[in-house]
Amino acid sequence: MVVHEEGEIMQTEQDPTMELSKCKGGHLACADCRVERPGNQRQCQKCERGGGFDVWNTVVDSVLSSVRVECPHEGCGLYVTYHKLADHQSVCSLAPCKCPVPVCSYKGPPPALYHHISTAHPMPVHRIQYGKVLQLQVPLSEPRLLLFAEEDRRAFFLVGGVLDISAPIVVSVVCIRARASPLPHYVAKLWANGPPGEPKGTTDAIKVEMEVTSSKDPGNIDVQELTFLTVPPKLLAGAKLVSLHIQIDKLTS
């Protein structure tokens, strides 16, 4: 941890040193700023003669490696080494995500999407519990809805589309968060039931299990690029709604 000038204790991430080196011309550079060239993998960009790096400036390296900045994402509050900020932002669980509703320009942390969509758009919003089955009636005309898990305030986007004439609808699930996010991961089970058959009243069903893809822009994802559930015409029987069951499991290892 790091203590602020006013005595406030800040949460930090532990990072290795920057490996700051000095070239023969006296210029300083971190590992990311060195130019790799054939025959000389550590080349100074400032030297006209292309001086190589042969001295590791441990004093300056130690000072710069201790400088930490706050993640700018609303609600995060994490302080990281400044040269690692971009890496943290790419996996931050509170990185701003786009609203999946077409033409809407709203961007905010995933937990805020639940309130935004439920108050600003007519899109259906359902709460879901991990490991439990949720039954949904999804309109064929617009198979889109938001699922919200209160356990970790995670938002999921159920998205559908048309594959071809013989398969009126395909359905998949997207987790609304940074694509490079670490654990936890999520697995979704989706299945659809058709109307009761004859003569014993049985129903046809089709099921798929998939690892849930993550995206900060779920509205622009093509469902055909994902693992999806295909609902064949015989399970629809002319209905305007498709009866779907979904279960999302949270994996922490």
Least confident segment among 16-30, 77-91, 120-134, 190-204: 16-30
User: Can you read off the two tokens belonging to residue 214?
Assistant: 């993550």
The pLDDT of residue 90 is 85
Residue 173: what residue type? V
Q: Compute CA distances 143 → 82, 159, 186, whole Å.
A: 43, 6, 21
The pLDDT of residue 157 is 94
Annotate 170-209 with b (16+ C-beta within 10 A) or e (fewer): bbbbbbbbbeebeeeebebbbbbbbeeeeeeeeeeeeebe
Q: What angle do CA 141, 134, 92 make, to 5 degrees?
A: 90
Which tens digits make up the pLDDT trace of 202-214? 566 788 999 999 9
Q: Which pTM value belongs to this model?
A: 0.70
User: Which residue did the predictor score with more confidence, 234 or 32?
Assistant: 234
Host H or E run for residue 154: strand 154-161
